[in-house]
Structure 1
Amino acid sequence: MKSSLQVTTSDFYIKNISHFLKYMADTPCKGSRLSQTDMILIKREVVAILKSLKRKVLIHQMQVKRDKMEGLPSHNDLMTCLTSTTTRISQLLDVMASNPTTATRTLLYGYMTLHWSCIYGHRPGVYSNMTNAEVRKADTTGTAFGYLVHVSNHKTANAFGEAQLYLTVEEFGWMKRWLEIKGTLTCTQSRYFLYTEGKNPFRKLAYSLRLALADVGLRSPINFTDLRTVHADNAKRFQDKGNRQRVSDFMCHNTATADTFYANNPSLKEAADIRLLFTESLQAAAAASTAAAAGNEDTFAGIDIDSDSSGEEHSPAPYQDSLPRHVPKRDQSLAEHNPSDMGEERVPYSAPTSPTVASDQLVNMQCVVVISPLVNTLYPV
């Protein structure tokens, strides 16, 4: 961390140390003097270091993503590149057919990969690992509608399988002509479409791309990752969820990984739209609160607190007339609270037999509240 390494590089190195410690713990070395307790302490220390780096790594990734989005090539730049590649590829093929040189071949590779990346945004490994056999197979299966090249060897082949390149008749014509020119050149034992003088694939595509961009007239530092990010960002912003997934799968791009490691960095307009959503939520909450308060006032406005809900008038003391006249008032009061003493059957309040019974019980409860003070005054305990 005190060196000039970025925090992500330090995190990568420490993760490698953690993997090595896990291997040492699972497969102890005979010459190791570390005990099992020592290994546990060391692994805990490494885990704590990785945990302390998590926040710094996330912030660094957000900053890198924001800088990358601000430096992406514009739509006009991409259209300028496509227009230039359509003209220059044919010219460079003519030069390679008449006077082949290494510099011309390198510039041709830059223009061809620039054209493909401006359309699909593939990684450079897809272009460098493309073989002559894969191109010839596409020639046999192509039609007047176009040609489809399948590249089996690339970085994310385990997750996405073969990478595809759909080419028009004119674009595939450049590839067929390049195969014909390669047959006339010496030192072409390489099986790769973008050959080198040896048997290995061409690994300097980034340099070739810079040469092509300089030849076009674009001085901005654009690389394959920037072109790939442009397509991924355009698919995210201008396509629905289904079409975005189709585009991402075709360019072998994992949207889940991108969304995990690169936090969302909204543009200025997107941030303004998000703020508008917050404002709309507050306004909706205020309107709902006002409507609820108005509804409560309308509900209680027509209720007379002095009368019960049944709308009928009840005498303040209905109990005295419901019992025989020969029962004393104090016995009447006890009977009102103890119906079983007077030989009457008690109806449980918790289980009313009918709505009428439930309504009578509510009425009786209200009467008890009114009468009770009078009873206590007349017959103090």
Structure 2
Amino acid sequence: MPVEICPLCLRMYGRLSQHLILTHKVENKEERRLLLAITTGRINARAGNCPILGCGRFSHRLDRHIRTHSEISEVAQDDAILCCKRRVVISKLTALRASNPAVPMVSTLDLEEHEQLEDPDVPPSLEELEAEECSNPECKRQKKFLRSQVVYLNKQVDILTDSLKNVTRRYRMLKRKSTPLGAVRVGQVAQKLLSSLGPEEEDVTEEVLDAPVQTITPGEPSTSQQPEDRAEEPSASKEQTDHVSVLNEILEEYRRHQLGPDPTTKLRENVGCQIYRIKKFIAFMAEGKGKLSDFCFLNETAKLHAWVSSLRKANMTVTTIRHYVMNVGTFFSYIAETPPPSCRLSRNALIGLHREIQSLRKSLKRGIALPRTSEVRVIAKSTLLKCRTQAMQAIPELLTLLEKKPTQKVLWQFYGHFVALLSSIYGHRGGVFQNITIQEVLAAQKSTSQKAYLVNVTSHKTNQAFGPAQIALTEEEYGWVQRFLRLKDQLPGGTEAKYLFFTSTPNPCKNLNNYFQEAWKSMGLPGCPTFTDVRTSIASHAFRGQSSS
């Protein structure tokens, strides 16, 4: 989790938005968004006057224009861009305060920095400075020479700064590599290696380098162990490295086993989350243990229960804890089927661990309260039928508008009505519609008996368990899709589009739920449901229909 500096109290926090709400009581959403933009830099500050002295030129892309000023260093360029962004944020805070918002503002940055950042005087342009210069040709030649020298020196500063960073980093790595770690730190280093912050594993060497070095003054005995134990440190360090490498090797093998030969992006993310949970579990079980390569530290039922209790104390939901237990159980099954050579867990011990994991899963399953579908959230059958009918009437009209005037506004309306039609029939998750590719649509199989085209969507949440999600399009609906694909090249991003619902970028459209809600509202239907609400409603109607029959 990135650590950010609060623009109000200038302290560092990992959850800056939550800090602004709880500590500073910033309840105005727009104000909070602008304050976060000061730290993240996510604000549109492209248009404006260049803040660099001697330029003052107006540009619609200040970020690119400032990079052309080679007479200043990269650090000064970054500072100039940040100054432009902060100036835009302060001006927007001033405008927000002038609008007298319903939710009062808490911050006073715009009042404190108004005079400093308002900067009504535009920096003098290059032409104005040259008009005031000396007309002597020798002075002009000398000035031109000095400017070229400044450019050259700034480039040298940037190159030497990067070189210094690389040399410092390599020096620290070599220094930490040359210092052996004591045997008493095996458990601590193993926990540090296996409890990384992200789902991806870190390199073993880099993690060992991050461990603090224990320095001992010559002639002074160590407080943690006796002097005669120091001779054993190199061998203990080697033993420790062996333990760590065994754990990382088995985790890497398990990762490759779960990914398979041709993993998708979604599968990589899911497997990364599994590895992250397993690493957190191993770090908890390995705490205080000296030998890890034999995996005997896993055979402790009491500590296994304590691990589940620690997850509850971390305020995790029962469903999240169950995911942790399921991933650990799958890892135990993998070890039982293909144990590493150094594993000393007996077959009975592995069976006992598997039985204990199953017991934990059952106990957690009893604690999960199934959500009862409220009558208010269930969409009536008549409403779903009306949604389908009105969407079928609107889609041809929207396609005609797209052919006459291909704008993004009409495109979003077409997206909303088309996914409303599909959602009201099948109740798929939003990710299914989002991941429909053009190739899957063109490869749809036609059923001669039912006169429909079957589209198989392979990339979705439960594809491993249930296979591809299927969408059957009638001849009329498939004709709409073909009609849309014929005019997609006229739309932004259509020439390089991979997905059916594309944007101006190669990525899939992730705002389908918003477009669906806008289409739902334009059709005059009650409420403002999501894809999940429609899915729940269709499942509820299907369940009641089966129960009554």
Query: TM-score, normalization: structure 2?
Result: 0.36
Higher relative contact order (CA 8 A, sep 6+): 1
Greater percentage in helix: 1
Query: TM-score, normalization: structure 1?
Result: 0.49
